[in-house]
Structure 1
Amino acid sequence: MTQTKPLNNAEALSLVKDSVTQIVPDADFTLIRPDDRFRDVLELDSLDFLSLIELLSEQAGVRIDEEDYPNLTTLADTTRFLVERTRQGS
Structure 2
Amino acid sequence: MTEWDARAAVIEALGQIAPELEPGDLEDGARLRQDLDLDSLDFLRLIEQIAGTTGVDVPERDYPRVTTVGELVRYLDARRTAT
Same fold (TM over 0.5): yes
State the match for 2:82 in structure 1. Answer: 88
Taking structure 1 as the reference length, what is the TM-score of the superposition?
A: 0.84
- 1:1-90 maps to which residues of 2 (within 5 A)? 7-89=1-83
Shift of residue 85, structure 1, vs aligned partner = 0.5
Shift of residue 36, structure 1, vs aligned partner = 2.1
Distance in 2 between the 1:44 and 1:63 partners? 19
The C-alpha deviation readout for 1:25-67, integer Å capped at 9, x for no partner, is: 1211213431121321221110010000101111110221001
Distance in 1 between the 2:40 and 2:47 partners? 10
Q: How many residues align?
A: 83
- What secondary structure sits across from 2:67 in the alignment? coil
**Contact conserved, 2:17 with 2:45, CA < 8 A, in 1?**
yes
Deviation above 4 Å: which 4+ runs of structure 1? Answer: none
Distance in 2 between the 1:32 and 1:60 partners? 19
Query: Using CA pairs below 8 Å that are at least 6 residues apart, which structure has the higher relative contact order?
Result: 1
Q: Unaligned 5+ residue runs, structure 2?
A: none
Q: Unaligned 5+ residue runs, structure 1?
A: 1-6
